[in-house]
């Protein structure tokens, strides 16, 4: 399975000490250089299961930067296309819209937690959702409630 990620999923899972869920679910997670650099600016040590690959289509990355996407998001989207990734991990709604318009299968942090519960890697998602909120990850209260209800925890 090929999974490409932008910064958000990784850095937020690092913040709540759950980044190993990505390894358990996907093995290797591929990131572009801009994501690596964003992560390295915030975290002294990066997970060893991250693999950096450079997107080849630099002109396509430049076009996405005009959307406006940040460099990590733009590189991740183009890299996911180039690698024909099974999934792109990306959180912000506007960025997911860009991924959808490009026919990329994607999900974000809540999708990672849902998948971890479905695969038996965690018993409940609520403690991790609440930890993410405490760490500064914004989840609309209605989305939190709906998500917990959908996974059988509300």
- Could you report the per-residue pLDDT of 101-145, keeping only the tens digit for each? 899 999 999 999 999 999 999 999 999 999 999 999 999 999 999
**By C-alpha distance, which of 27, 24, 14 is closest to 128?**
14
Query: Is residue 118 within 8 Å of residue 124, measured between CB atoms?
Result: no
- Classify residue 61 as exposed, middle or buried by CB count within 10 Å of its CB (0-12, 13-18, 19+): buried
Q: What percentage of the chain exceeds 70 in pLDDT?
A: 100
Q: Report the candidate in 48, 43, 103 with the shortest Cα–Cα distance to residue 77.
A: 103
What is the model's pLDDT at position 154? 80
Does domain 3-110 fall under CATH 3.40.630.30? My reply is no
Tell me, what's the pLDDT at 26? 97
Say what the pLDDT of residue 94 is.
Answer: 73
pLDDT of 2 reads 97
The continuous run of DSSP H or E covering 78 comes out as helix 71-83
Nearest to 41 by CA among 19, 68, 5, 72: 72
Predicted pLDDT at 91:
86
Residue 92: its pLDDT value, please?
A: 80
Q: Is the full-model pTM beyond 0.85?
A: yes
pLDDT classification of 68: cutoffs 50, 70, 90: confident
User: In this predicted structure, what is the pLDDT of residue 24?
Assistant: 97
Confidence of residue 20 (pLDDT cuts 50, 70, 90): very high
> What is the domain partition of the chain in residue ranges?
3-110
Question: Can you give the pLDDT at residue 7?
Answer: 94
Q: What is the pLDDT of residue 47?
A: 95
Confidence check: pLDDT of 60 > 80:
yes
């Amino acid at each position: 399975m090929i999974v490409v990620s932008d910064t958000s999923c990784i850095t937020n899972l690092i913040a709540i000490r759950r980044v190993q869920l990505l390894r358990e679910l996907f093995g290797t997670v591929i990131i572009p250089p801009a994501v690596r650099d964003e992560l390295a600016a915030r975290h002294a040590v990066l997970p060893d299961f991250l693999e950096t690959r450079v997107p080849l289509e630099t002109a396509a990355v430049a076009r996405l930067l005009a959307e406006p996407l940040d460099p990590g998001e733009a590189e991740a989207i183009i890299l996911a296309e180039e690698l024909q990734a099974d999934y792109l991990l990306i959180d912000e709604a506007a960025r997911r819209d860009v991924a959808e318009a490009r026919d990329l299968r994607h999900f974000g942090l809540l999708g990672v937690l849902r998948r971890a519960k479905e695969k038996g890697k965690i018993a409940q998602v609520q403690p991790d959702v609440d930890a993410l909120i405490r760490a500064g990850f914004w989840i609309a209260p209605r989305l939190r409630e709906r998500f917990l209800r959908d996974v059988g925890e509300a």
